[in-house]
């Protein structure tokens, strides 16, 4: 799928598969119940976070010091960064909603 090495491609493919399975599961629950709950928002955030990691699998294999070096980002990396931020915000909203209710 994505990444320069075979291990990146396999890792990316597995994460895309898990994200697709989670997304289908959530859509079926929404159709079954006819409503969206905070738990559904929390699970959808996990789909977005999985997709963001699958878009840039090479960062999962970097050492901690190499991950934070300043360098130019590609379009794929920018999209992955936005997806992970949206996923984190949705996870926070879902968590607060579950605790409040």
**Banded model confidence at residue 99, pLDDT cuts 50, 70, 90:** confident
Quote the CA–CA distance of 23 and 97 in Å, as a whole number.
Answer: 20
Tokens of 45: 């955030």
For 34-63, write each residue's pLDDT tens digit: 888 888 888 889 888 888 888 887 776 665
3, 55 contact by CB (below 8 A): no
Task: Encode pLDDT of 7-17 as tens digits.
Answer: 778 888 888 89
Q: Are 98 and 43 in contact (CB under 8 A)?
A: no
Cα separation, 60 vs 18, whole angstroms: 16
- Asked if 88 and 52 touch (Cβ cutoff 8 Å), the reply is no
Does this model's pTM top 0.85? My answer is: no
């Amino acid at each position: 799928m994505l990444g320069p090495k075979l291990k990146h491609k396999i890792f990316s493919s597995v994460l895309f598969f898990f994200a697709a399975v989670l997304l289908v599961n959530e859509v079926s629950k929404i159709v079954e119940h006819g409503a969206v709950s905070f738990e559904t928002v929390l699970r959808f955030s996990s789909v977005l976070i999985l997709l963001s990691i699958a878009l840039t699998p090479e960062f999962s294999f970097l050492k901690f010091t190499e991950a934070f070096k300043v360098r130019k980002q590609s379009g794929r990396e920018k999209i992955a960064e936005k997806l992970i931020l949206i996923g984190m915000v949705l996870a926070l909203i879902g968590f607060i909603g579950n605790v409040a209710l």
